[in-house]
Each structure stands twice: as structure tokens, then as C-alpha cells.
A and B are shown apart, each in its own frame.
Chain A
Amino acid sequence: DGGITQSPKYLFRKEGQNVTLSCEQNLNHDAMYWYRQDPGQGLRLIYYSQIVNDFQKGDIAEGYSVSREKKESFPLTVTSAQKNPTAFYLCASSIGGPDTQYFGPGTRLTVL
């Protein structure tokens, strides 16, 4: 079955700690994305990667970091510099170019 997996589904972190969210896809998609959703708001783009070993900042990249060492994987690190990290995080992928993005099931991060 092709798809996008995110783990874990729920994550708790103490204030001041870094945490890494996993995103894996076996769709052979070139492009991958990280979004954040807050209550009552649409999704906002954190980072995106159009190809392996390349990534770009989205609209709200401050306090986050990513890597793209493999086509299948695009992990997101939420650093202690992110002022309001509690949110629902969504990973997506697409073939590339203007095209449909497909989303994973999401990770809900709560900072205690």
C-alpha cells in the first residue's frame, strides 16, 4: 500500500526540549512538505523540499528545522526556539510542480 506515514500520532514534550517528527512516504514523490494547523485556522507551510538534499523555508519556519537525506523521508525538528509549538503537524508529498498534495495522518504535539 502506497502512502504517507507520520509517527508518533501523539507527542508530548517538556518546554525547552527539541523533538523530531517523522514523515515517510513510499509514493515515489519528489516533493515533500510540512504544515502546521492551529484551531480554527487553515494549514500553514513550515518547510518544503522539492528534491533530495534541498529544502526551503515556508511561511512560518522560525523555530523549526528539517533534513532531506532520502527521497522517502522528511523529518521535522521542533526546536526550543519555537515559541508556540503545541499544534497539529501534517506532512504531505506530491509528484512535483502544480499538483495535488497528499497528506499523512498528522502528529499532535503538546508542550507541557
Chain B
Amino acid sequence: DQQVKQNSPSLSVQEGRISILNCDYTNSMFDYFLWYKKYPAEGPTFLISISSIKDKNEDGRFTVFLNKSAKHLSLHIVPSQPGDSAVYFCAAILSGGYNKLIFGAGTRLAVHP
């Protein structure tokens, strides 16, 4: 039973355009969401997070949007750069839990010139 779903395994975007990565979740008790970026054979790197009490958080080229009613999370990267090419994981934390991260399967982003 996947509680965090990333339904698009891959996404291809032209350099300079916007990349939108999507994530859906099923558990309404999640209260904190994170996005990680991962290159092959390396550990994930934290990108950006959002608390469930907010609907938007921005950090430079990265913006995360949270729609609690739809149980949907998205990461916007604008403008996209070739160095953004990586696998992006969405993760969620359960409220009252022990900080257990529940990960989606990831979306591979390819930014081409």
C-alpha cells in the first residue's frame, strides 16, 4: 500500500522552461513534506520542505505547493537547468511519529538544452 505516490517515473523538460514534479499521498495525518534530489550512486540531497499548515514554500528556483484537500504536492523548478537532471523523491512524515520518512518511488527529470 503506497502512501506516497509519484505517478510519473520520468519527465523531460527543455532548459529554461518550468519543471513540475507531482506527488500524491493518501494519509491525511502526514504533517510535513520534503523533496530530495538524488544523483546515481549518491545519497539524496535535501531540497525543500513544507509544513502542512502552509500551502507554499519558496527557495530560489524551487517552489513547493501543497494542496491538502486534494492530498497533492508539487515541486516547481524554474528556470530548469541541465544540472537539475536527477531523480526527485517526494517524502512525507507522519504527525506524532518518530520522524519516519515515507518516500515515493521517484521521478527522473531530464533537462535538455
Interface residues of A (CB under 8 A from B): 4, 6, 9, 31, 33, 40-45, 48, 50, 56, 58, 88, 90, 92, 94, 96-106, 108
**A101 vs B104: C-alpha distance when bound (angstroms):** 15
B59, chain A: closest CB distance, angstroms = 12
A43 touches B103 (CB 8 A): yes
Among residues 63 to 85 in chain B, which have CB atoms less than 8 Å away from a CB atom of chain A?
Answer: none
> Per a CB cutoff under 8 Å, which of A33, A42, A45 touches B104?
A42
Return 29 A-B CB contacts under 8 Å, by A number: A9-B41, A33-B101, A40-B105, A41-B106, A42-B91, A42-B104, A42-B105, A43-B89, A43-B101, A44-B103, A45-B100, A48-B98, A50-B98, A50-B99, A90-B43, A90-B44, A92-B43, A96-B99, A98-B95, A98-B97, A99-B32, A100-B34, A101-B99, A101-B101, A102-B46, A103-B45, A103-B46, A105-B43, A108-B41
Size category, B interface: 20 to 34
> Per a CB cutoff under 8 Å, which of A6, A41, A96, A104 touches B105?
A41
Interface residues of B (CB under 8 A from A): 4, 9, 31-32, 34, 36, 41-46, 49, 89, 91, 93, 95, 97-101, 103-106
